[in-house]
Every structure is written in structure tokens, then in C-alpha cells.
A and B are shown apart, each in its own frame.
Chain A
């Protein structure tokens, strides 16, 4: 990719659809609030980050993240996603694929599109139901979200490439070590620097509370 095209993409207020067409980013994010080394370092680049409307994002999270996380767990997952989003650098140089002599870049900034989607959800709620998203029953909320998620899946993919902010939030959470531990109900601690000692043991069962 030429430097001029790269700077153009960096500056453009790109749509999320464009991001998914560019489709450059690799595997899913692994960031999580429970991983200090990644949380500390990873969220430091995206200087021009556009904050996502927090209340709407949380209303979306209630609909798309597992209820078993509880309020605290869900809040941690949303905060981790926000930090990840703040640190996202559009059109960043990606890790080189093995034996491919080209430089690849991530897609353009998905955040303006995500902000627009969240604002759009609120507008739709207001006009159809006269209340904000957070006040709407869960089945109706999911119905509202199901339509824009029409193209998403079946796999999770990278959150930065997600066509909708709800899909990005889900991808981000389900790729995290927290989600893996929750799924297996074991302390696996994937991709955390854990030392060699515990490797041979079956991971310990998690307590009941997430």
C-alpha cells in the first residue's frame, strides 16, 4: 500500500462497511481487563479516538454478553472494550504473514461508524418506543440488534473488522482470557505470562462467582 493511500485511509471518516471490505486485520483481539500487561500497553496508540456513547454501549452489552458475567463482570468487559477501542490505530502495520514479502495494514477507522450505529439505535428507540435503549425489554432490544447483525458470523473474527459495534463487543469479549476461563470454568489464563511451573497441571476449577 502506498504512503499516500495509507494517509488517506487514516484520515478518512470511514464507514464500518468499508472496514470490513478492506478486511486486512488478522485474528481476534485478545485484550482484557484482567490482563494487566496487555491492558496497560495496548490502549496507548489511538490518539484521535472518538469515544463511544457509553450508556448505549452498556445497553447493547446487556443484550449481547452472557448474563452469568453479572453486572460487575459485564462492566469490566465493556470497560476493556472501551480501552481497546480508544487504543485502536487505524491503518496500522500488521504482523507480517509468514513468507509473504509484503507489508499489510489494518483497515480504516471503524469507530465513527460504531458511534453512528449507537446513535442510530437510540434514535430508533426514541422514535419507535419513546425511550432509550437501556429502558427497552431484552427481546425487543435484541430484535433491534438482530437486523444490523444480519451479515455477521458465523465466526467471531477480529473486532476491528466487525460490521457492527455489537459484533465487535462480542468478538472482543469472547476472545478474552476471561471468556475462555468462564467457558471451561477453569483458570487457564491463556496468553498471560504464567511461568512454566503450572503447565503440567489440569487448570484449577474457578469458583462459582465469575
Chain B
């Protein structure tokens, strides 16, 4: 016998994209909204000072119980399954994608165009920034288009970053402060950033985490939040393509199945679990999984790569003033018509790399207390280190895939996801050029300061991943439409990361949130408005 929970809208997942949808629906409609989250609650704000201290002292996870032991996969995936999702741990860097990201094929003849433009998304970017609480500085308008100012002034440039900005200004590359989901003034009942420099766990509540939104919605009686309940399958209304029910298991009483019945289902499970659930939900009518008539679910998984390095600078800086603020440039997001294709951002941080205390000197001799201090001082007096990173966009490949892994199952026997990211050949062909050009720009910056490159490395981790349910106007080549509505099921939406077409060269979460708000607007159309 199943327990049945009924509502107008059932949102699966309680991460940041779910929070966006839930908030907007709660404000604009009178619909009943149930949010189902596989994980439980983790450290409350009150507990975060203690868990932060243990993270600093011992490297411990500051969010106990933030994952499910047997619910995991292979490939680039977040471990967090908890109220707030990976948005509990996130750093809160919230740059927008650039207008060019949405028109790669038209502008540069590579990759794909999105079905929407930057201008279509711009109001939702703004709304997401307001809901999250973005603190930012307007960059040069041609590099950083926006219709309204940020809701909050930027985080202050530390002494270190101010010196670094003098240097980059001299190099002729405009840098400005990274926008952050951290308060620079009291905002929506949350505190101001205290520069604790452990943003993975913010003990003051200045960093936005989605649990704040859910707590408020619960306090206002606007949603039901069902935790520790894993949706295992979506099932159709007999004889139609509409979703009737989300079949779930309450992890505290696994023998009693739970059924969520709703008029509209919103899949907000993030980049891995959304495609996974659709594939798991195969039926006679949809033998390859839901929303998968054209066979696109799990394809075009995407993320960006980076080149990073450390620059020796002939200046006196003090690492530790504010390691969690950084400078950002989008100067290289728009290559000229004659340039070979490469789009990347640049970001700069203070760093102590090469200038940290050590037990042995360059000759390998063991150092003792005073010797360690003298060696350390010599290396910090003689200069400073800057960390530099360039995220560049990777053209997604159709065979960049999430599949069900029969070899890895959870305790209930469900196959777990396996993600084999792959870039398109275009990116491989450009890789030497990409690396050399970015390295050249790093060196140009280093020279402008009279400094030099200490080291450079390339990473092929697919960062800020998305895809698997990409959006498009053509059902043959996409899974959802521009609103996130699946082409195959009129009452099933997929929101945020899974729907992106490509992942730009900037952290993705603000874009995932903006897309989710755009979906929420469409979802609300079918619901009674709030009176």
C-alpha cells in the first residue's frame, strides 16, 4: 500500500534550481507545491561555526549527512544529496554567460546556437541575482552587459587585489570584481560577509544557500518539503504521455512506497540525476526512457576546461587577507572575426604557492623553527604569487553521455549513472592553439608586472557541468523546449543545468537559476494566479 501525496506541482530535488522555481511559484501562483528531496537536512546555520572549525582543523566535511552512501555514480558528479544540494558547498561565484555563448554557431561556425538569446535570459539573470543576493561591480558594458545594477555593491577589493588590479590595468586588460552570492549589506534577513574566508561553509549566513529559501517558504506555509525520499521512477497516466506519478521510496521506511501525484512535475535533480531519472523511468510506451523519443536524453553532457598558472610578482602582498575574492575579466569572451576560435575568461587570486612555510630548503636540508621562519620570510619578502585561471568553452559532443551503469547499483537494485564526458573534435583540434594563446596571455600579464610565470597546467575536468536534456526548438535534436518543457510530455519540465546547450566559460549556476526562473514563468501559466 503506497502513501500518496498530492499537489498541483511536484518538484523533484531541493537544490538551488528547485529553490528558484519553488519561490517563484509560491509568490506568483496559489498552486500547492511539494518539493521532494532524496537527502535530509544538514548542518543548520547555528551549527556551521562548529563544523567550519573542524573543517579548518581536520579537513572534515562541514555538512554531515550530505550524501547517500549507495546513491552515487561514475564521472564528474557532485556527491551532495541534501536539502540545498551542492549549493550548500558552493563558492558562490555568479558570473553570467556572455551573449556570444548563445550564438556560437551563427557567430563562429562552431558548436550550437541556443534557442534563446542572452537578451531573452537577461531579465531572469536579474531576477536570479535578486533572489540569491548578488554583490557585484559593473564591468565594462561591452564585456559585461546588464540592464540594471547589481542588487548589492561588490565585495571590497582587498589590499592584495587592489595592487593586482593596478598591475592588470597597466597591462591593458580590464579586470573587475567577481560577482558573488555573498552579502555586502544585510539582505533578505541574512548577515553581511565577515571575510571568514571559508566560503565552502559560511558561518554567518552571508553566502546564499538554498536552505534559506526553503526555510522561508516552509515558515510561510507555501510549500511542503518531503525529505529523505528518493524518486525512483516517473510513471505515465495510462494511455497518455502525461506524467501521473512520481514513485518514491521513503529512506526511513523503505517498505512503504510513496507516490507523488501532481498536475505538473518539475525535475530539478541537477546535471546527473535528472537524465538518470528519465532513463530509469523507461516503460512500454517509452522503452528508452521518458522524454527520450528522439534518443537525446543523456547526450551532449557539457562543461568547461581551464588553463591555470601561478605568476611570480615583484610586489609585497599578504596572502590571507581575503583569499575568497578574486578579479574577473571577460575581455576574451568575444574573439574577432579574423581570430582563430577561442573564448575564455580570466580570473586572479592572491596565493601563497611557492611562498608557504616548508620543512626543507632548496638543497633538501632539514630546517628547524627559526630556519623555517627565515626561509619563509626570505621567500615572502622577495615577491608575491598570483593565481590565474582561464575557463575556456568546450564544444559539446553528442556522444558526451550519461548512461545507466548496470555494473553499479544502489541497494534497491537501480543502476547508477555513469557520465563519460567528451568534447567535440573541434575542441580537440583547437587545444594546442587554446593552450598556447592562454599561456601567452598569462605571460603577457606577468611581463607587465615585471614578473614571470612560475607554472602552468591544463585541466580537463568538465567544470560546472550540465547537459543531458538540452533545450532546442527541434524535438529531433533536443529534449526540452526553451522553457524546459519536455517535448514528449506536456506536464514534465526539466530545469537548470541539464537543459543547457553549452557551458560557456564562466561558472554556470547563475545561468542554471535564470533558466529555472524562465521555466517557472511558463509553469505558472498553467496555474491559478495568487489572488
A residues with a Cβ closer than 8 A to B are: 25-27, 29-31, 37-45, 63-69, 84, 87-89, 92-96, 98-103, 106, 142, 146, 149, 152-156, 158, 160, 167, 170, 174-175, 177, 179-180, 182-184, 186, 188-196, 199-203
A183 to B407, CA, bound (A): 53
A39 to B320, CA, bound (A): 19
Q: Which 9 A-B pairs have the closest CB atoms?
A: A190-B320, A153-B359, A41-B53, A42-B57, A41-B50, A154-B360, A193-B194, A174-B357, A26-B59
Known A183-B377, A191-B197, A200-B159; contact A30-B57, beta-carbon cutoff 8 A: yes
**A37 and B377 contacting across the interface, CB-CB below 8 Å:** no
Interface 9-residue window, one of B97-105, B108-116, B241-249, B362-370: B362-370
A88 to B79, CA, bound (A): 24
**B321 and A188 contacting across the interface, CB-CB below 8 Å:** yes
Q: B15 within 8 Å of A by Cβ?
A: no
Q: Pick the contact of A154 from B318, B322, B364, B370 — CB < 8 Å?
A: B364
B465: shortest Cβ distance to chain A, in Å?
A: 7
**B373 and A199 contacting across the interface, CB-CB below 8 Å:** no
Q: Pick the contact of A95 from B49, B60, B376, B463 — CB < 8 Å?
A: B60
**B79 and A42 contacting across the interface, CB-CB below 8 Å:** no
**Which B residues between 75 and 126 are near A, CB-CB below 8 angstroms?**
75-80, 89
Residues on B with C-beta less than 8 A from A152 are 359-360, 366
Q: Pick the contact of B56 from A30, A94, A101, A170 — CB < 8 Å?
A: A30
Identify 11 residue pairs between A and B in the complex whose beta-carbon atoms are under 8 Å apart, listed by A's number: A30-B57, A37-B53, A42-B53, A92-B58, A93-B61, A96-B61, A182-B373, A196-B155, A196-B184, A196-B192, A200-B159
Q: Pick the contact of A94 from B59, B69, B192 — CB < 8 Å?
A: B59
A100 to B86, CA, bound (A): 12
Q: Pick the contact of B194 from A26, A68, A170, A196 — CB < 8 Å?
A: A196
A149 to B75, CA, bound (A): 39
A155 to B367, CA, bound (A): 11
Known A42-B58, A152-B359; contact A95-B77, beta-carbon cutoff 8 A: no
A118 to B200, CA, bound (A): 36
Q: Residue-by-residue, is B445-487 near A (CB-CB < 8 Å gives 1, otherwise 0)? A: 0000000000000000111010000000000000000000000
Residues on B with C-beta less than 8 A from A182 are 373
Q: Residue-by-residue, is B175-195 near A (CB-CB < 8 Å gives 1, otherwise 0)? A: 000000000100000001111
A188: nearest chain-B partner, CB-CB: B320
Residues on A with C-beta less than 8 A from B143 are none
Known A38-B53, A196-B156, A196-B184; contact A177-B320, beta-carbon cutoff 8 A: yes
**A195 and B359 contacting across the interface, CB-CB below 8 Å:** no
Q: Pick the contact of A29 from B50, B57, B66 — CB < 8 Å?
A: B57
Residues on B with C-beta less than 8 A from A177 are 320
B363: shortest Cβ distance to chain A, in Å?
A: 10
Q: Pick the contact of A99 from B64, B77, B321, B366 — CB < 8 Å?
A: B77
A3: shortest Cβ distance to chain B, in Å?
A: 8
B402: shortest Cβ distance to chain A, in Å?
A: 12
A154: nearest chain-B partner, CB-CB: B360
B residues with a Cβ closer than 8 A to A are: 49-62, 64, 66-67, 69, 72-80, 89, 155-159, 162, 184, 192-198, 200, 203-204, 318-323, 325, 356-361, 364, 366, 368-370, 372-373, 376-377, 380, 461-463, 465
**A149 and B366 contacting across the interface, CB-CB below 8 Å:** yes
A148: shortest Cβ distance to chain B, in Å?
A: 11
A32: shortest Cβ distance to chain B, in Å?
A: 9
Known A37-B53, A103-B67; contact A29-B58, beta-carbon cutoff 8 A: yes
Residues on A with C-beta less than 8 A from B73 are 101
**A94 and B60 contacting across the interface, CB-CB below 8 Å:** yes
A31 to B50, CA, bound (A): 12
**A96 and B67 contacting across the interface, CB-CB below 8 Å:** yes
**A63 and B194 contacting across the interface, CB-CB below 8 Å:** no
Residues on B with C-beta less than 8 A from A179 are 357, 373
**A195 and B194 contacting across the interface, CB-CB below 8 Å:** yes
Q: Pick the contact of A199 from B59, B195, B203, B377 — CB < 8 Å?
A: B195
Q: Pick the contact of A184 from B78, B157, B368, B380 — CB < 8 Å?
A: B380
Residues on A with C-beta less than 8 A from B89 are 95-96
B163: nearest chain-A partner, CB-CB: A202
Residues on B with C-beta less than 8 A from A99 are 76-78, 461-463, 465
B371: nearest chain-A partner, CB-CB: A66
Residues on B with C-beta less than 8 A from A45 are 54
Residues on B with C-beta less than 8 A from A142 are 368
Residues on B with C-beta less than 8 A from A102 are 72, 79
Known A66-B369, A99-B465; contact A42-B59, beta-carbon cutoff 8 A: no
A196 to B227, CA, bound (A): 36
**A103 and B193 contacting across the interface, CB-CB below 8 Å:** no
A111: shortest Cβ distance to chain B, in Å?
A: 13
**A41 and B54 contacting across the interface, CB-CB below 8 Å:** yes
Known A68-B373, A99-B78, A153-B360; contact A199-B321, beta-carbon cutoff 8 A: yes
Known A99-B76, A160-B58, A184-B380; contact A155-B356, beta-carbon cutoff 8 A: yes
**A84 and B61 contacting across the interface, CB-CB below 8 Å:** no
A33: shortest Cβ distance to chain B, in Å?
A: 12
A188 to B320, CA, bound (A): 6
Known A64-B369, A101-B73, A184-B380; contact A31-B60, beta-carbon cutoff 8 A: no
A26 to B462, CA, bound (A): 22
A158 to B60, CA, bound (A): 12
Residues on A with C-beta less than 8 A from B368 are 63-64, 142
A145: shortest Cβ distance to chain B, in Å?
A: 8
**B79 and A200 contacting across the interface, CB-CB below 8 Å:** no
**B198 and A191 contacting across the interface, CB-CB below 8 Å:** yes
A149: nearest chain-B partner, CB-CB: B366
Residue from A44, A153, A167, A177 with most neighbouring chain B CB atoms (10 Å): A153
A186 to B54, CA, bound (A): 26
**A174 and B372 contacting across the interface, CB-CB below 8 Å:** yes
A38 to B463, CA, bound (A): 31
B479: shortest Cβ distance to chain A, in Å?
A: 23
Q: Pick the contact of B62 from A30, A95, A170 — CB < 8 Å?
A: A95
B195: nearest chain-A partner, CB-CB: A194
A99 to B360, CA, bound (A): 33
Residues on A with C-beta less than 8 A from B56 are 29-31, 38, 42, 191
B206: shortest Cβ distance to chain A, in Å?
A: 9
Known A94-B61, A103-B79, A200-B162; contact A194-B194, beta-carbon cutoff 8 A: yes
A152 to B366, CA, bound (A): 9
A38: nearest chain-B partner, CB-CB: B53
Residue from B59, B79, B318 with most neighbouring chain A CB atoms (10 Å): B59
A29: shortest Cβ distance to chain B, in Å?
A: 5
